[in-house]
Amino acid sequence: MNRSHSTVAAPDADQPATARERIDRTAYELFCRHGIRAVGVDTIVAHSGVAKKTLYRHYPSKNELALAFLRRRDELWIGEWLKREIEGRAGTPGEKLLAIFDAFGLWFREPDFAGCPFLNAISEHGDRKHPVRKAALRYVGQVRALIVKLAKAAGVRDAKSFARQWQLLMMGSIMAAQAGNVRAARQAKALGKLLLASNSIDRENRA
């Protein structure tokens, strides 16, 4: 899947999509493009071609549909796309950290780029106890855990603190790109090199 973080896979051409597959695909695309709060159940029903009763049979509430969307986003964006890009673009842990921003540069240039659904969900749901906000924060934490793993492999002493700093660069570049900064990924990568150097990790990742 070339753009696995932007769309969900289509069902087998020989097998018509089930109602649930149409709901999932429609919700994924609309939530990615417009955010969760801006997309109502009626809009999803209209675009998916399923009856509202059918949608509620699969997802009794919009929150449950939103949670399923975030879960799928985690599978596609973190589990498949981000990890594949990191592993495929670089060799050493330090290079893999920087490769994140190379991948972001391609993502930011996609015509349907609309920011990070996890960050968007957090900003849309101010209640700290809201299940959608809590789920989005959990997935943001999973990205940070990936950075911790790479930081440890790179020889960073305080990997958890480093990961929070690195994630600031990641989130900042996403927001900057969303605001129209076409150089956001390149600028974040330049700052990332400085952060690696400040931790005595050079570009080839030799401590």
Task: List pLDDT tens digits, range 77-109.
Answer: 999 999 999 999 878 999 999 999 999 999 999
Contacts of 69 (CB under 8 A, 6+ apart): 24, 27, 28, 31, 36, 117
Give the class (CATH, top level) of 63-198: mainly alpha
Taking the domains of the chain in order of start, what are their residue ranges?
A: 8-60, 63-198
d(CA 34, CA 187): 26
Task: List pLDDT tens digits, range 12-62.
Answer: 445 678 999 999 999 999 999 999 999 999 999 999 999 999 999 999 999
CATH 1.10.10.60 given to domain 8-60: yes
Question: Interhelix angle for 93-108 vs 131-154, to 10°?
Answer: 140
d(CA 149, CA 93): 9
**181's torsion region: left (phi>0), alpha (psi -120 to 50) or beta?**
beta
Contacts of 119 (CB under 8 A, 6+ apart): 136, 140, 171, 174, 175
Entry pTM: 0.88
